[in-house]
A and B are shown apart, each in its own frame.
Chain A
Amino acid sequence: MLKIEQVSKVFYPGTVNEKRALDYVNLEVSDGDFVTVVGSNGSGKSTLFNLIGGTFPVTGGKILLNGTDVTGKPEYKRAFTIGRIFQDPTVGTAAAMSIEDNMITAYKKGMKGLKISLNHVKREMFKNELKQLSMGLEERLKDNVGLLSGGQRQALTLLMTVLSRPKLLLLDEHTAALDPRNAQIVMDLTTQFIKKYQLSALMVTHNMQHAIQYGNRLIMMDEGNIILDLKEEEKKNLTVPKLVEMFKSIKNKEYSSDEDLLS
C-alpha cells in the first residue's frame, strides 16, 4: 500500500534555523492496516503526513503508493489515492456552499467538466449517505456548510473524503478540535467507514487511550524517528502505563548510551 524508504526532511537547510524534522524514516503500511501514530510535539508526525500527502517535497528518500513512486507528484495528484482529514474542521469543506454542492465536488476526484451531475438521483444518494451520520443533515442539503457545528462539519468532511473511495486515509488529529461527545461520534464513524470500505489508515492522535484502542498497529515517533512499532498481538496487550513505560525505557537507553559515549 504505502512504502516510505529512507525519507528525510530538513527545514531551512544551511541556516542557523536548520531543523531535521525527519531522519531517514522507513515505514511500510500493508493493505487494510490501521496505524495509530503517537509522539510528542515536534516529533515529526505532522511532517511525515505532509510528506506522504505531498504538501511539501522530501529532502531525500522515496515514497511509494501502491507500488508507484509518487515522491515528485504534486498534492492534488496524490489525492486520487489519499483522503486526508485535518484537525481544523473548516479545512475539509467549503463554508460558502451548500452541503449538496460540497458533496458533488467530493463525489469524484479530479478535474470537473461542463456536466450538471447534481440531479435528484444524486440528491437521493447523498441523503442516504448523510443518514449514516445520524445528525439530521439529510434534511439540510441546501443549507450552507458554514451554518454547521464543528462536529457536524468534521463528520461531513469524513463522509466526503470516503465518498470518492480513496485507498489510504490520513487522519491528522481529526477529533482533537471537537468536544468529547462529537469526538466520539466522529471516531466511531471513522472506524465504521474504514471497515466498510476496507481502507488503510494512518491516524495521528494525542489521546493514548485512542491510540491503543483503535487500529491494529501503533507507531511512536520521537525527534524525527520511529522509535516504536507495535503490531497486532503486541498491541492487543498494550495499556497506557505500559506504553509510557516503553517510551521511558527507550529514552533512558538513549540517554545512557549518550553518557557512555561522553565518559
Chain B
Amino acid sequence: MIEGIFVDGLIFSIMVLGVLITYRILDFPDLTTDGSFATGAAVATISIVNGLGLFPAILLATLAGAAAGIVTATIHNHLKVPGLLAGILTMTMLYSVNIRILGGRANVPLLRIETLYSRMPEQFSFLSEPWALLVGTLIIVIIVKLILDLFFRTDLGISIGALGSNEQMIVSMGINPRVLKVIGIAVSNGLIALSGGLLAQYQGFADANLGVGMVVQGLAAIMIGEFLFNTNKIFLISLRVIFGAIIYKGLMFFGRYYGYYINLTPSDLKLLTGILVIVSLVIAKTRNAASSADARKKAIKKNLALREHEEKKEIEHA
C-alpha cells in the first residue's frame, strides 16, 4: 500500500517538474497542463494498443505534450495574449483533440496488453510486485531528474532561468525571448505528457478527463517542497519538488482513506488542495516579509558599524 503511494507520487512528480519549469523558472503561468497531461495518457495508450512498442509510445506521448506547449507559446508570442489565456485556449482545444486521439471515446482501457508496468515485475523478478513497480518508477524519475538538472546547467537552460527572472536582461544579451519561451514551455509540457503516459500505463486506462485540476495539484506539491528547505541550486530544487509530490500524494491518500472519520469525501480533496495552496501562499508571504525585514535590520546595523568605524578613524587622524 505504502509502495503504491510512492509510485503514484513519483509518476506525479514528473508532472510537477513540468509545472515547476513554467511557474517557477519561466514565471509563465501555464494552464496547458490540464490538457497536455491527458494528451500524454491518450497518445501513450493508443500507441500501445496499436502495437507501436513501449518506448516509441512514451516518446510519442512526450513529443505530443511538447507540441501542445509550442502551440501555447506561439499563441502567446504572436497574438500577444497573456500566458494564462493562451494556456486556457490550448487546454480547451486539447479536450477535443484528446477524444479524437482516443478514437472518439472518453476512456480507453489497457487491459491484457503489455505495458511498462506489466513489464516491471518481470524485469525485477527478485522483488515482490509492488516493490518492482516502485523501483522501476524510481529509475525513470531519477533519469528524468538528472537530464533536467543537466539541461538547466547548460547555457541554454541558464538563459531560460534568466528569462523568468528578468526578460529585459535576456533581450540585452541579444537573445530572442520568444524562442526561449517556446523551448521552455515545450520542455515543460513534454514532461507533463510523459507523466500522463506513465500514469495511464500504471492505472491501466487513459481518460480524457485525467488532467482536470492538475495545475493546482502541481502547485500544491511545489509549495510543500519549498517548505522543506531553501536553495538556489537546480539539483536540490528538483529534488524538493519530487519530495513535495510524494508528500502531497501521501496527504491526499490519507485524506481519502481516513477522511470519512470527519465526513470527508474524495470530492472534497480539490477544495482541500486549493486551501493548501492558499495557506502556502500566505505562509510564504509572511516568511518573505520577515526575511526582508531581517535583511534590512542587518544592513542598517552594518552601516552604523561602518560609520562608527570611520568616525573613530577621523578622530584618531585628528
Chain A interfacial positions (CB closer than 8 Å to B)? 74-77, 79-80, 83-84, 86, 90-98, 101-102, 104-106, 109-118, 144, 147, 149, 161, 164
Contact = CB atoms under 8 A, between A and B. Distances in A.
B156 A109 contact: no
Contacts of B153: 116, 118
A219 to B, nearest CB: 24
Contacts of B179: 111
A114 B154 contact: yes
Contacts of B299: 149
A79 B169 contact: no
A76 B176 contact: yes
Contact of A102 (B154, B155, B162, B176): B162
19 contacts: A76-B173, A76-B177, A79-B173, A93-B169, A94-B166, A94-B169, A96-B161, A97-B161, A97-B162, A105-B158, A105-B159, A105-B162, A109-B173, A110-B174, A110-B175, A112-B154, A112-B155, A114-B154, A114-B155
B146 interface: no
B180 to A, nearest CB: 8
- B interface, by DSSP: helix, strand, loop or mixed? helix
Interface residues of B, number: 27
Contact of B158 (A84, A90, A97): A97
B172 interface: yes
Contacts of B151: 114
A79 B171 contact: yes
A11 B287 CA distance: 43
A103 to B, nearest CB: 10
Given A91-B166, A93-B169, A96-B164, A80 B155 contact: no
Contacts of A111: 156, 175-176, 179
Most buried by B among A112, A116, A161: A112
B168 interface: yes
Q: Which are the 8 A-B pairs with shortest beta-carbon distances?
A: A109-B174, A94-B165, A112-B155, A79-B174, A96-B165, A94-B162, A112-B156, A94-B166
Contacts of A96: 161, 164-165, 232
A113 B154 contact: yes
B173 A116 contact: no
Nearest to A147: B295
Contacts, number: 98
A106 B173 contact: yes
Contacts of A116: 150, 153-155
Contacts of B158: 97, 101, 104-105, 112, 118
A81 to B, nearest CB: 9
Contacts of A80: 174
A112 B171 contact: no
Given A102-B169, A114-B154, A149-B299, 8 more contacts: A76-B173, A76-B177, A92-B172, A94-B162, A95-B165, A97-B158, A105-B155, A112-B158
Contacts of B173: 76, 79, 105-106, 109-110, 164
Contacts of B169: 91-94, 102, 105
B49 to A, nearest CB: 34
A149 to B, nearest CB: 8
A75 B156 CA distance: 20
Contacts of B176: 74, 76, 111
A3 to B, nearest CB: 21
B161 A115 contact: no
Contact of A79 (B161, B172, B295): B172
A101 B162 contact: yes
Contacts of B155: 104-105, 112-118
Given A76-B176, A109-B174, A114-B156, A91 B164 contact: no
Contacts of B172: 79, 83-84, 92, 161
Nearest to A94: B165
B240 to A, nearest CB: 16
Interface string B197-217: 000000000000000000000
Contacts of A76: 170-171, 173-177
A114 B155 CA distance: 6
A161 B177 CA distance: 18
Contacts of B175: 76, 109-112
Contacts of A117: 155
Nearest to B25: A96
B156 A97 contact: no
Contacts of B154: 112-116
Contacts of A75: 171
A95 B159 CA distance: 13
A92 B171 CA distance: 10
Nearest to B153: A116
B155 to A, nearest CB: 4
Contacts of B174: 76-77, 79-80, 109-110, 164
A104 B172 CA distance: 14
Contacts of A86: 168
A101 B240 CA distance: 21
A90 B171 CA distance: 14
B28 to A, nearest CB: 14
